[in-house]
Amino acid sequence: MLYHVRMDVRIPHDLDPDVRDDTIAREKAYAQELQRAGKWPHLWRIAGEYANFSVFDVESHDELHQLLSGLPLFPYMDVQVTPLAKHPSKVD
Ligand SMILES: O=C(O)CC1=CCC(=O)O1
Protein backbone atom coordinates (compact mmCIF):
# COMPACT_ATOMS: atom_id res chain seq x y z
CA MET A 1 0.00 0.00 0.00
CA LEU A 2 1.28 3.43 -0.95
CA TYR A 3 0.89 6.56 1.15
CA HIS A 4 1.81 10.14 0.39
CA VAL A 5 3.07 11.80 3.56
CA ARG A 6 3.80 15.47 4.18
CA MET A 7 6.01 16.20 7.20
CA ASP A 8 6.41 19.76 8.51
CA VAL A 9 9.25 19.99 11.01
CA ARG A 10 8.68 22.40 13.91
CA ILE A 11 11.58 22.08 16.32
CA PRO A 12 11.12 24.46 19.27
CA HIS A 13 13.64 27.30 19.16
CA ASP A 14 14.53 26.73 22.81
CA LEU A 15 15.38 23.02 22.38
CA ASP A 16 18.91 22.25 23.59
CA PRO A 17 21.18 22.38 20.49
CA ASP A 18 22.84 19.05 21.40
CA VAL A 19 19.43 17.35 21.70
CA ARG A 20 18.37 18.94 18.38
CA ASP A 21 21.52 17.79 16.56
CA ASP A 22 21.30 14.27 18.03
CA THR A 23 17.62 13.98 17.08
CA ILE A 24 18.31 15.10 13.51
CA ALA A 25 21.21 12.63 13.20
CA ARG A 26 19.02 9.77 14.50
CA GLU A 27 16.24 10.84 12.12
CA LYS A 28 18.65 10.59 9.17
CA ALA A 29 19.85 7.11 10.18
CA TYR A 30 16.27 5.89 10.72
CA ALA A 31 15.11 7.35 7.38
CA GLN A 32 18.03 5.81 5.48
CA GLU A 33 17.40 2.40 7.07
CA LEU A 34 13.75 2.52 5.91
CA GLN A 35 14.82 3.66 2.43
CA ARG A 36 17.25 0.72 2.15
CA ALA A 37 14.44 -1.61 3.27
CA GLY A 38 12.23 -0.27 0.45
CA LYS A 39 9.64 1.14 2.86
CA TRP A 40 10.35 4.82 2.05
CA PRO A 41 10.89 5.00 -1.75
CA HIS A 42 10.52 8.79 -2.10
CA LEU A 43 11.83 11.58 0.12
CA TRP A 44 11.79 15.09 -1.30
CA ARG A 45 12.52 18.43 0.33
CA ILE A 46 9.73 20.97 -0.27
CA ALA A 47 11.69 23.88 -1.69
CA GLY A 48 11.92 26.78 0.71
CA GLU A 49 10.34 24.95 3.67
CA TYR A 50 11.58 22.78 6.54
CA ALA A 51 9.23 20.09 5.26
CA ASN A 52 9.21 17.06 3.00
CA PHE A 53 6.96 15.11 0.70
CA SER A 54 7.46 11.38 1.09
CA VAL A 55 5.98 8.18 -0.29
CA PHE A 56 5.84 5.11 1.98
CA ASP A 57 5.28 1.59 0.69
CA VAL A 58 3.98 -0.51 3.58
CA GLU A 59 1.58 -3.37 4.33
CA SER A 60 -1.07 -1.53 6.36
CA HIS A 61 -2.21 1.65 8.10
CA ASP A 62 -0.87 0.13 11.31
CA GLU A 63 2.62 -0.41 9.84
CA LEU A 64 2.66 3.16 8.53
CA HIS A 65 1.64 4.49 11.94
CA GLN A 66 4.32 2.42 13.63
CA LEU A 67 7.04 3.69 11.27
CA LEU A 68 5.93 7.33 11.46
CA SER A 69 5.55 7.35 15.23
CA GLY A 70 9.07 5.89 15.49
CA LEU A 71 10.62 8.89 13.72
CA PRO A 72 12.96 10.64 16.18
CA LEU A 73 11.53 13.98 14.98
CA PHE A 74 7.92 12.76 15.34
CA PRO A 75 7.31 14.84 18.51
CA TYR A 76 8.35 17.92 16.53
CA MET A 77 6.46 17.33 13.28
CA ASP A 78 3.03 17.90 11.84
CA VAL A 79 2.27 14.88 9.66
CA GLN A 80 -0.39 14.63 6.96
CA VAL A 81 -1.09 11.21 5.42
CA THR A 82 -2.90 10.59 2.12
CA PRO A 83 -3.57 6.97 1.07
CA LEU A 84 -2.95 6.43 -2.65
CA ALA A 85 -5.07 4.30 -4.98
CA LYS A 86 -4.41 3.32 -8.60
CA HIS A 87 -5.47 5.89 -11.20
CA PRO A 88 -7.55 4.32 -14.01
CA SER A 89 -5.63 6.27 -16.70
CA LYS A 90 -2.17 5.22 -15.50
CA VAL A 91 -0.21 3.18 -18.06
CA ASP A 92 1.45 0.24 -16.31
O1 LIG B 1 14.11 17.21 7.36
C2 LIG B 1 13.01 16.63 7.23
O3 LIG B 1 12.24 16.84 6.30
C4 LIG B 1 12.63 15.56 8.23
C5 LIG B 1 13.27 14.31 7.86
C6 LIG B 1 12.70 13.18 7.40
C7 LIG B 1 13.72 12.20 7.17
C8 LIG B 1 14.92 12.94 7.54
O9 LIG B 1 16.08 12.52 7.52
O10 LIG B 1 14.62 14.20 7.93
Reading phi first (left if > 0) and then psi (alpha if -120 to 50, else beta), residue 43 is in beta
Could you tell me the distance, in angstroms and rounded to a whole number, from the CA of residue 22 to the centre of ligand 1? 13
Q: How many domains does the chain have?
A: 1
ipTM exceeding the 0.90 mark: yes
Task: Enumerate helices (H) and strands (E) in the chain, giving the number of each.
Answer: 2, 4
Residue 69 sits in which domain range? 2-84
Is 90 a member of any domain? no
**73 within 8 A of 67, measured Cβ to Cβ:** no
Q: CATH number, domain at 29? A: 3.30.70.1060
Ligand 1 atom nearest the C-alpha of 73 is 4
> Where does the pLDDT of residue 92 fall: very low under 50, low under 70, confident under 90, or very high at 90 and above?
confident
Ligand 1 atom nearest the C-alpha of 27 is 9
Model-level pTM? 0.96
Q: Is the CB of 58 under 6 A from ligand 1?
A: no
Looking from the CA of 72 toward its CB, the CA atoms found within 13 Å total 14
Ligand 1 atom nearest the C-alpha of 30 is 9
Residues 14-65: tens digit of each pLDDT = 999 999 999 999 999 999 999 999 999 999 999 999 999 999 999 999 999 9
